[in-house]
Amino acid sequence: MPTDRIDIRHVARLARLALTDDEIATFGPQLGSLMTHVDALAKLDTENVAATAQVIPSRNVQREDAIRPETILPRDVALQNAPQVQGPYFRVPRIIAEEG
Amino acid sequence: MDPLKDSARAIARDVNARTTSAAEVAEALIPHVERVDAQLGAYLELTPELMREHARRVDARVAAGENLPLAGVPVAIKDNMCLTGTRTTAGSKILETFVAPYTATAVQRLLDAGALPIGKTNLDEFAMGSSGENSALGLTRNPYDLDRVPGGSSAGSASAVGGFEATLSLGSDTGGSIREPAAFCNVVGFKPTYGRVSRYGLIAFASSLDQIGPFARCVEDAALVYDVIAGKDPLDATSVDREVEPAAGALRDDLRGVRVGVVKEFTLDDLDAASRAVYEAAYADLERLGAELVDVTLPTAEYGLATYYLIAPAECSSNLARFDGVRYGLRVDGADVGEMYERTRAAGFGPEVKRRILIGTYALSSGYYDAYYLKAQKARTRIAEDFARAFERCDLIVSPAASSPAFRFNAKSDPVTMYLMDYYTIPGSLAGLPSLSVPCGAALPEDGTRPMPMGLQMTSPLFTERALLGYAHAYERATMHAEKLTPVA
């Protein structure tokens, strides 16, 4: 049944998203129902069809390796929206566990 | 001269001729918007001081002899586009306090052309939604019935122009987010070809689909904005380097010799009787203007929704990974950095955004990529091929812009039912085509007391914006549907 189709807890871990039990109970069937809708795609023949990543034909282009001042944020501006800063850095909680 | 009602073209003409000033326009608009928006809720933030500052600049430039295409024209900006110094929230708690450190190219081009920024408009969170109800920061109402949704995701941008709180606005369209709310709010909404307008400074949702475009009360004003914002931008590598033929001033008044494709799969039989009558009359009007109606088929159109609801969430799950509580936005502390990420995102994102992140993460996860994302990309190829084949037989394709007029708040609680609103807009988005919605009449909803506006969608081949705007202009001039309705707010 749709409800069990997706291991929501596992997917939420991959997405770095903490979910409440209520959310798991709601999202499970909703996502199952959407995926059932999506299953219709299996009927479409895509044998020998190339994948379209984007529709406008584009090719790799090069530009001069030059500084574009209009795209550079001064450091204080780059930091102005940060939840926590220390000196010129973004501050985050501990990433590496203490030896012990 | 009435700056609250006049077209952008008329305001710019008068300001350039100095029969009025940008400052006068601003001073007329500011109190009006403050009053009307108490009812409509189109704006998340009003920027009266910024508007006055730009008005002074415009008046000085005009006095110095410049002629500006949007001189003194009040514009509203969807709040997923950056404008230096304004809050730019994407309608999300995770960005509730974010102040833009730079300005989006499309917005900058409007300002350089003389436009006056009124404020930032409400939207479904991160542009994900079809009703406007997914905003975490405010409720926007439909100017033609305050008990109904404005459509989404560009809810406030559509409501502001439809409710005469702005002459023009910018929205963004990923699967219909300009065209559907335009239909609901009695305005013209135009999504140019994918890549035509720079997305530098637009908060990304689904990068292979997102496109910025205008809302206006007439086709010519939409063309005016298009002429200003379209074109290559060195700051957006995905913007297309291809000449933009100016559209405003080159718009046709008849449809003689134009072949209009009516899509077999977009049958009107699925609509209620009142809506069906509106579109039947619209198709008849096209013929009356000299167009030849041609039956065309898009056999893969029925797969559009399934394709879209794999591609868009997959790209969204990737794009929204950047909201992690480190560089900007909300942070909720945790014991370690992983817990901080999970709690921040749990508290910062609303239910629809979470659903799409989960779908996208699942579709991209190990073992499912080929079955879902890759399959959807192949389906996308087939949909684009169907359009190309159809355009061998016609110059444009018409259909309803949405499967119903604006509905009541909380009428569609099931996500898939809501997704079906975009049935007509999604296939063209997947194919990257230029597409617009133009007012085509009104129908009385079964549960309503006022006739609600409806939109005719017109879609044409890649990079044929000028022709498309011309077809819409001819239809609009002959029918003038928008003027038959009056907003309640």
| CB of B81 closer than 8 Å to CB of B111 | no
**Which pLDDT does position B1 carry in this prediction?**
84
- Report which of residues A34 and B294 the model is more confident about: B294
Contacts of A41 in chain B (CB under 8 A): 303, 306-307, 310, 375-376, 379
Amino acid B321 reads A
Interface test with B, best of A46, A79, A91 (most B CBs within 10 A): A46
Residue A12 lies in a domain: yes
Residue A100: per-residue pLDDT: 57
Task: Kindly report the nearest CA distance between residue A66 and chain B, in angstroms.
Answer: 12
> What per-residue confidence (pLDDT) applies to A69?
86
CA distance, residue A44 to nearest chain B CA (Å): 7
Three-state DSSP at B394 gives: coil
pLDDT score recorded for residue A4: 59
Q: Report which secondary-structure segment, H or E, holds B47.
A: none
Helix (H) / strand (E) element for B35: namely helix B22-40
pLDDT for the residue B416? 85
How high is the pLDDT of residue A99? Answer: 67
Distance (Å) from the alpha carbon of B311 to chain A's nearest alpha carbon: 9
pLDDT of residue B249: 84
Q: Nearest residue on chain A to B376, judged by CA atoms?
A: A41
Q: Nearest CA to B297 among B233, B362, B413, B387?
A: B387
Residue A27 resides in a domain: yes
Disruptive mutation site among B193, B305, B307, B359 for chain A (greatest number of A CBs within 10 Å):
B359
**Which residues in chain B have Cβ-Cβ distances shorter than 8 Å to A5?**
none
CA distance B346 to chain A (A): 5
CB contact under 8 Å between A17 and B307, yes or no, is no
Interface test with A, best of B88, B311, B378, B423 (most A CBs within 10 A): B378
Which among A35, A55, A95 is the nearest to B337, CB-wise? A95
Each residue's pLDDT tens digit, B164-219:
999 999 999 999 999 999 999 999 999 999 999 999 999 999 999 999 999 999 99
A34 vs B235, B335, B415: nearest CB = B415
pLDDT at A2: 41
Domain annotation covers residue A20: yes
The answer to whether the CB atoms of B330 and A31 lie below 8 A apart is no
Query: Per the structure block, which two tokens stand in for B316?
Result: 């969204």
CA distance B138 to B140: 7
Q: Which tokens hold the place of A60? A: 């790799």
Q: What is the pLDDT of residues B87-139, one digit of tens each?
A: 999 999 999 999 999 999 999 999 999 999 999 999 999 999 999 999 999 99
* Distance of alpha carbon A8 from alpha carbon A64, whole angstroms: 46
Q: What percent of chain B has pLDDT over 90?
A: 96
- The verdict on a CB contact (< 8 Å) between B380 and A17 is no
Q: Which residues of B touch A63 (CB under 8 A)?
A: 234
Across the interface, which of B99, B333, B361 has its CB nearest the CB of A11? B361
| Chain B environment of A90 (Cβ under 8 Å) | 326-327
**pLDDT value, residue B412:** 93
User: For residue B243, what pLDDT is reported?
Assistant: 93
CB pairs under 8 A between A and B: 173
Q: Which residues pair with B455 in a beta bridge?
A: B439
Condensed to tens digits (0 to 9), the pLDDT of residues A67-87 reads: 888 888 999 999 999 999 999
Q: Is A37–B306 a contact, with Cβ atoms under 8 angstroms apart?
A: yes
A59 in a structural domain: no
Q: Are B222 and B216 in contact (CB under 8 A)?
A: yes
Both tokens assigned to B206 = 């689904």
Interfacial A residues in 33-92 facing B (CB < 8 Å)? 33-35, 37-42, 44, 46, 49-56, 58, 61, 63, 68, 70-71, 73, 77-78, 80-84, 90, 92
Smallest CA–CA distance, residue A1 to chain B, in Å, is 17
Whether B234 sits inside 8 A of A68 (CB atoms) is: yes
In a domain, A6, yes or no: yes
**Residue in A17, A51, A81 nearest the CB of B342:** A17
CB contact under 8 A, B340 and A93: yes
Residues of B in contact with A82 (CB under 8 A): 326-328
Cβ–Cβ below 8 Å for B378 and A92: no
Cβ of A93 within 8 Å of Cβ of B336? The answer is: yes
Residue A16: inside a domain? yes
Nearest CA in chain A to B315: A53
B345 contacts A18? CB cut-off 8 A? yes
Task: Name residues whose C-beta falls within 8 Å of residue B213's C-beta, 6 or more positions apart in sequence.
Answer: B170, B171, B172, B173, B178, B189, B190, B191, B192, B197, B226
The rounded mean pLDDT for chain B is 97
Q: For chain A, what is the domain count?
A: 1
Q: How far is CA B88 from CA B202, B203, B467, in A?
A: 10, 9, 34
Residue B61's contacts (CB-CB under 8 Å, 6 or more residues apart) are B68, B114
Domains parsed from chain B with CATH numbers: 1-252+398-489 (3.90.1300.10)
Distance CA B178, CA B401 (A): 10
Instruction: Write down the pLDDT at residue A60.
Output: 83
More confident residue, B157 or B249: B157
At B426-450, the pLDDT tens digits run: 999 999 999 999 999 999 998 999 9
pLDDT score of B474 more than 80:
yes
Residues in A closer than 8 angstroms to B195, CB to CB, are 56, 58
Where does B127-220 show beta strands of DSSP type E?
168-173, 188-191, 211-216
Across residues B311-329, what is the average pLDDT?
97
pLDDT in tens, B43-79: 999 999 999 999 999 999 999 999 999 999 999 999 9
pLDDT of B488 reads 94
Contact B79, B91 (CB under 8 A): yes
Does the beta-carbon distance from B358 to A54 stay under 8 Å? no
- Is B102 in Cβ contact with A93 (below 8 Å)? no
Angle (nearest 5°) at CA B270 between B303 and B308: 25
Q: What is the pLDDT of residues B357-414, one digit of tens each?
A: 999 999 999 899 999 999 999 999 999 999 999 999 999 999 999 989 999 999 998 8
Ranges of chain A whose pLDDT falls below 70: 1-4, 98-100
CA distance B180 to chain A (A): 21
pLDDT value for A68: 85
- Give CA angle at B423 (B422, B425), nearest 5°: 65
Q: What share of chain A is helix, strand, coil (3-state, %, to 5)?
A: 40, 5, 55
DSSP label of B68: -
Short-list B319, B325, B316, B315, CA closest to B346: B325
B432·A54 Cβ contact <8 A: yes
Please check whether residue A58 lies inside any domain of the structure: no
Candidates A37, A45, A56, partner chain B, best to mutate (most B CBs within 10 A): A56
- The residue of chain B nearest to residue A69, with distances taken between CA atoms, is B235
Claim: this prediction has a pTM higher than 0.80: yes
> What is the span of the domain harbouring residue A32?
2-42
Instruction: Please identify every residue of B annotated as catalytic.
Output: 78, 153, 177
With respect to residue A26, please indicate whether it lies within any of the assigned structural domains: yes
DSSP string, A31-51: HHHHHHHHGGGGGS--TT---
